[in-house]
Structure 1
Amino acid sequence: MSGEESLVEAALRVLNTADPVEKASLGDDVANRWLQGLISRPYDPSLDLPVPDRPARLTNVKLVSPSLMPKLGKAGSLQSRQAIVHSLVHTESWAIDLSWDIIARFGKQESMPREFFTDFVKVAQDEGRHFSMLAARLKELGSFYGALPAHDGLWDSAMATSKDLLARLAIEHCVHEARGLDVMPTTISRFRNGGDNETADLLETVVYPEEITHCAAGLKWFKYLCLRSRNPNSGDDLLLSQVGANAAEDDDEEEEVVQKFHDTVKAHFRGPLKPPFNAAARKAAGFGPQWYEPLAVKDVSAQ
């Protein structure tokens, strides 16, 4: 083997970079080199490289329990707008790590095809862009990343799924990211109502549409793993063509995958999913209501 760095080795360098600005910049560079073919190998089959349980992070952000987080408000005041954007910046900083972690932790281990690596490289690059743009916007609002407390619930759930790619895809990309889609229209409206069209435009034109593609990536590879488990002798091209096919072509197979999703979420996610759901955005990501409505809070008033 040549001494050329593989994508997994580069991903580990991103994960081991503590400064979030440097992390986003390095991730963007790695992504560009992979997409341009300058990094050619997803991983070195002869190397088993340890993935950190927790990526390198600066200690300038005060971490508290999610239950102790102060209320963010509804963007009616500058203080509230700063708090909401700070929360989004923190989420995006973890989203960068989550994207590189799924590449480094599972790509070789699960013998994933090249397209898997490319999809999550694109997700990682998007998350880095979101972080950088939102961090810049936070400065324009007179604050900075680290000025307010934050919580690491997103990474806690990542660690709970660190040994199971199917669970990681379901929880991080099909539950948490889809929840982000559910609340984004309200968040955008609050900034507009508060007179902050700059932040609203950033969320509406950049973050929101790209997060839909991230949910779609999670769903795509969840389906792929289910189909590969059922048809272990099928080639990747055939499996990926089946993933992209219209679900109606094989209702039984689709129903089986949806049931596997329900079982996985119930096993790894506490409590029911909380409506209201953003049905349009979820549909754009490939989620019909059969995926999430059976997992939702039951309306006791209807009983």
Structure 2
Amino acid sequence: MELRQRALEVLCLCDPFKKADAVMQMHAQAAQWRIAPHAPLLPAGTVLPGHPQRPALLHHTAVARRSPATHEGRIILMHAIAHIEFNAINLALDAIWRFDDMPPPYYLDWLQVAGEEGRHFLLIRNWLQAQGHDYGDFPAHQGLWTMCEKTAQDVTARMALVPRTMEARGLDATPQIQAKLRQVGTSDALAAVDVLDIILREEVGHVAIGNHWYRFLCQRNNLEPHSHYTALTQQYEAPRPRPPFNTQARQAAGFTEAEIAWLEQH
């Protein structure tokens, strides 16, 4: 079995539930994969990533606000997080199939991320179903995938701006969401807190993987990590992280004191 070809095949799947199951199965078989040196060819006319007809994809400014104070607000909030997790499956698969000339542990690290993101997606789907809803019931936006497309030609930019910028924002936002859900105190809200506990713990590891490979690439290419990161955020118009920052989670994910101080000053 060849990992990068399979990653592309699963990236092209449109059924989100089959995609989530497939990446979990791929991760479970991690020891059996062969890793090709070159990316498989993208079939002519293929549009990435494969995604279902629902949810409708809108500009981020047109997506409903998600206050957890009401039951409907909590459902919309968790649906939005489900969409982030679905996008994160696609991001991990894209990192596997697209980029050549990386060591084998790089591809296996992103296989781990894909498998865990698949599990996160299905955990939230189970929560939504318990509330009488499902993924696809509300509109969503494609902010994460847009940055994936922007960085398609530069693996260093991808590592800098997807896991350690876009996904790291989740480390900051999740505790605030959990605090609001605990304040609500209903059984569905507390069940959502438990799901987010699992996601936050594993997302620290995903951001750490991004940090590790970003620094590896900077060393390989003789780049100074901090100044190059600043240049990349400007070149690709990356969103500015907003405080408060989850300093403990960011440190656990490999951010240095200097990097955290830079975030707080910007």
TM-score (norm 1): 0.82
Match of 1:62 among 56, 76, 94: 56
User: Percent identity between the aligned chains?
Assistant: 31
| Cα 1:48/1:140, change in 2 over 3 Å | closer
Deviation, structure 1 residue 264: 1.6
Taking the aligned partners of 2:238 and 2:49, their CA distance within structure 1 comes to 24
Q: Which residue of 1 aligns with 2:135?
A: 145
Question: 2:256 is matched by which residue type in structure 1?
Answer: G
Alignment partner of 1:176 is 2:145: no
Relative distance call for 1:220 and 1:44 in structure 2 (3 A) is closer
* Cα offset, 1:125, TM superposition: 0.6
2:145 alignment partner in structure 1: 155
Quote the offset at 1:104 in angstroms: 0.3
- Judge which range, 263-272 or 210-219, deviates more: 263-272
Structure 2 unaligned segments of length 5 or more: list them.
Answer: none
Deviation of the 1:294 alpha carbon: 2.8
Instruction: Please give the residue correspondences for 1:8-23 in structure 2 after superposition, counting only pairs within 5 Å.
Output: 8-23=4-19
- Alignment match, 2:88: 95
Partner residue in 1 for 2:201 = 209
More off after superposition, 62-71 vs 218-227: 62-71
SS in 2 for 1:112: coil
Deviations 1:199-249 (A, max 9, x none): 101111x1001000010000000000011112xxxxxxxxxxxxxxxxxxx
> Quick check: which has more Rg, 1 or 2?
1
Deviation track 1:44-98 (CA, whole Å, cap 9, x = no partner) reads: 55x742275521111121111101111111x111101101110011110110010
Larger RCO, structure (CA 8 Å, separation 6 or more): 2
1:275 maps to 243
Q: Does 1:287 align with 2:229?
A: no
1:127-276 equivalences under 5 Å are 127-195=117-185, 196-204=189-197, 206-230=198-222, 256-270=224-238, 272-276=240-244
Q: What is the one-letter code of the residue matched to 1:13?
A: E
After superposition, the Cα gap between the structure-2 partners of 1:135 and 1:56, relative to the gap in structure 1 and judged at 3 Å, is same
Runs of 4+ aligned residues of structure 1 deviating over 3 Å after TM superposition are: 295-298
In structure 2, C-alpha distance between the alignment counterparts of 1:162 and 1:202, rounded to whole Å:
31
> Shift of the alpha carbon at 1:297?
6.3
**In structure 2, what is the Cα distance between the partners aligned to 1:20 and 1:63?**
15
Q: Which residue of 2 aligns with 1:71?
A: 65
Rounded to whole Å, the distance in 2 between the matches of 1:57 and 1:183 is 25
The answer to whether the Cα contact below 8 Å between 1:226 and 1:257 also exists between their aligned partners in 2 is yes
Give unmatched runs, 5+ long, in structure 1: 231-252, 299-303
Aligned to 2:97: 104
Measured at CA, do residues 219 and 151 of structure 1 come closer, stay the same or move farther in structure 2, by a change above 3 Å? same
The corresponding residue for 1:238 is: none
Q: TM-score, normalised by structure 2?
A: 0.93
Provide the aligned C-alpha RMSD in A: 1.7
Give the AA of the match of 1:218.
Answer: G
Asked if the contact 2:15/2:51 (under 8 Å) is kept, the reply is yes
Question: How many pairs align?
Answer: 261
Q: Which segment is superposed worse, 14-23 or 139-148?
A: 139-148
